[in-house]
Amino acid sequence: MKVLFATPEIAPWVKTGGLGDVAGALPPALRQAGVDLRVLVPYYPALRIAFPEDKALEVVALGDFGGTFADATLRIARTSNGIPLMLLDCPEYYDRDGNPYLGPDGADWPDNHLRFGLLSRVAAWLGSSANHLPWRPDIVHCHDWQTGLAPAYLKLLPDARARSLITVHNLAFQGLFGPHTLPELALPAHAWGVDGVEFYGHLSFLKAGLIYADAITTVSPTYAVEIQTDEEGMGMAGLLRHRAEELSGIINGIDTEVWNPARDAHIPFAYDIDSIAAKKQNKAALQREVGLAVRDDLPLLGVVSRLTHQKGLDLIAAIERQLAALPAQLVVLGNGDKALEAEFRLLAERHPGQFAVRIGFNESLAHRIEAGADIFLMPSRFEPCGLNQMYSLRYGTPPVVRATGGLADTVVDGVNGFVFREASAEALLAAIRRAAASWRDRKAWQAMQITGMRSDVGWAKPAAQYAALYGKLAQ
Ligand code: ADP
Ligand code: GLC
């Protein structure tokens, strides 16, 4: 079975969040499960450096796709772990520094519809009889809105052959553009409408995917249920209920090589279940690194997150005084919403030595927070899956999470972490208090750490579920 994995990000080269991690780690697991898989991803600057032009195994010219798309070529390369990459080379669209979605001013790139429309269009082309390469996928596996038009092209074009699957990593990002983009994207006029790509007067890439894909998955069983409710369905609940038969949840795994405290080059002191005590040394090193008082008598709470409404971090800011009085230390690494960034900066200024805040994206520090913190916080309002709670389990850093989406599916209250229900500052504080009390009970705490570190959070099981779904789709 041949599968094309079409993605706008891929770790370790291009990552803005969990989708990058998933695209880095799921393909190798799928290859291990026997799937003949290739990854299609834009040829961003970081990939140009990692896989230079002159090292590409093969270069394929692409024809004219109509609309207002720029010319592009495909460069085929291979990662060190043997994953064939199809690098979509269109310098005009992708050879830009910085974030894949945002310009230096923090606003969306104005041509995102063409940039990700082209990615979708090429994914569909690969799955069509127009593809003259020896390799043609039976299934095109799309991820989020950025590849959401691929299923539409596959349904609307006469020469399409492949079946399609879309995985929703986050229903909040819907890929909305004005109606003028329809002809620019070479979509037929009849695709405009409630049964097509139109969503309240906009063209929605995500809705297109949900309408036209042969199957839909999302990244946890609980989120698959939640998004069918009007409260959590972000305007798409009716459509998702309509497609309930083809919708399922497959929980994410994590890359257990990259996130392995026994062999993590980012952390100063390696440890495993038999040497959890080394967490203490990682804690002291982290406290020094971020300017906290080096104390082992206070629990250190850790956060690594996009700073957005979704993640509920305003609830942490709201209990500033109570956390300071608990007393607990806090280290926050994140970026995103400017108001939240400013709020956290102030919080750190008001509590020097007790609260530390690093604004920015720092992969290496993220590892040291997982290793050095005692307790990890994820008070998300919604969370399709969440990866950091799983990194925390593996690093012996019991997470405090809200019972939503994948957090509810991976954390069991009192067993490997702490779970609270209501999205309120009081409920979060009560859960943190419970966690802090439990932390002082060294024996019980260690038992909880070991349970977490032993949990099976790898990709083998989820990859087998995807492989089974591909098999069903290809029939
Ligand atoms: P989401 O994809 O919604 O942001 P996930 O928990 O699935 O949430 O994945 C987030 C990923 O991005 C994790 O690997 C996390 O460590 C990483 N991450 C988020 N913010 C930062 C940051 N500021 N610096 C470093 N890594 C970050
Ligand atoms: C999204 C979600 C997150 C999930 C990630 C990877 O960004 O917000 O919950 O873990 O995708 O699937």
Q: Nearest bound ligand to CA 376?
A: 1
Distance 181 CA to ligand 2 centre (A): 27
- Summarize pLDDT for 150-184 with one digit per residue, the tens: 999 999 999 999 999 999 999 999 999 999 999 99
- Summarize pLDDT for 370-419 with one digit per residue, the tens: 999 999 999 999 999 999 999 999 999 999 999 999 999 999 999 999 99
Q: Measured from the CA of 311, which atom of ligand 1 is nearest?
A: 3
Give the lowest-confidence range in 15-19, 144-148, 238-242, 468-472.
Answer: 15-19
Distance 370 CA to ligand 1 centre (A): 12
Distance 304 CA to ligand 1 centre (A): 6
pLDDT of residue 82: 92
Q: Measured from the CA of 19, which atom of ligand 2 is nearest?
A: 6
363 lines ligand 1 (CB under 6 A): yes
Give the residue, by CA position, lying nearest to ligand 1 atom 4: 17
Task: Give residues with Cβ within 8 angstroms of 8, minimum separation 6.
Answer: 19, 41, 42, 100, 101, 116, 119, 143, 144, 146, 147
Give the residue, by CA position, lying nearest to ligand 1 atom 26: 363
Mutate to test the pocket of ligand 1, among 361, 393, 404, 409 (most ligand atoms within 8 A of CB): 361
- Summarize pLDDT for 378-390 with one digit per residue, the tens: 999 999 999 999 9
The CB density around residue 93, as the number of other CB atoms within 10 Å, is 23
pLDDT of residue 58: 84
410 lines ligand 2 (CB under 6 A): no
Q: Does domain 2-253+460-474 have CATH number 3.40.50.2000?
A: yes
* Percentage of the chain exceeding pLDDT 70: 100
For residue 241, is it left (φ>0), alpha (ψ between -120 and 50) or beta? Answer: alpha
pLDDT of residue 56: 66
In the chain, what are the domain boundaries? 2-253+460-474, 273-453
Q: What is the CATH number of domain 273-453?
A: 3.40.50.2000
How buried is residue 49: exposed, middle or buried, by Cβ count under 10 Å (0-12/13-18/19+)? exposed
- Summarize pLDDT for 302-360 with one digit per residue, the tens: 999 999 999 999 999 999 999 999 999 999 999 999 999 999 999 999 999 999 999 99
For the segment 129-140, the average pLDDT, to the nearest whole number, is 96
The CB density around residue 60, as the number of other CB atoms within 10 Å, is 16
The CB density around residue 394, as the number of other CB atoms within 10 Å, is 22
Q: Is the pLDDT of residue 106 over 90?
A: no
Q: Which helix (H) or strand (E) holds 124?
A: helix 112-126
Q: Measured from the CA of 167, which atom of ligand 2 is nearest?
A: 12
For the segment 421-427, the average pLDDT, to the nearest whole number, is 98
462 lines ligand 2 (CB under 6 A): no
Mutate to test the pocket of ligand 1, among 219, 304, 310, 385 (most ligand atoms within 8 A of CB): 304
pLDDT of residue 105: 86
What does the alpha-carbon distance between residue 238 and residue 142 come to, in Å, rounded to a whole number? 21
387 lines ligand 2 (CB under 6 A): yes
How many H-runs (helices) and E-runs (strands) does the chain carry? 19, 18
Bridge partners of 329?
Answer: 300
Q: Measured from the CA of 384, which atom of ligand 2 is nearest?
A: 9
What Å distances lie between residue 438 and 223, 283, 370, 416, CA to CA?
29, 18, 19, 12
pLDDT of residue 363: 96
What does the alpha-carbon distance between residue 367 and residue 376 come to, in Å, rounded to a whole number? 12
CA distance between the termini of the chain: 11
Distance 356 CA to ligand 1 centre (A): 18
25 lines ligand 2 (CB under 6 A): no
Distance 55 CA to ligand 1 centre (A): 31
- Summarize pLDDT for 35-83 with one digit per residue, the tens: 999 999 999 999 999 999 877 678 899 999 999 999 999 999 999 989 9
273-453 shares the fold of 2-253+460-474: yes
255 lines ligand 1 (CB under 6 A): no
Mutate to test the pocket of ligand 2, among 9, 15, 19, 404 (most ligand atoms within 8 A of CB): 19
Q: Measured from the CA of 11, which atom of ligand 1 is nearest?
A: 14
Q: Nearest bound ligand to CA 362?
A: 1
pLDDT of residue 55: 72
- Could you identify the residue written with the tokens 């956390």? 323
Q: Measured from the CA of 380, which atom of ligand 2 is nearest?
A: 9
170 lines ligand 2 (CB under 6 A): yes
266 lines ligand 1 (CB under 6 A): no
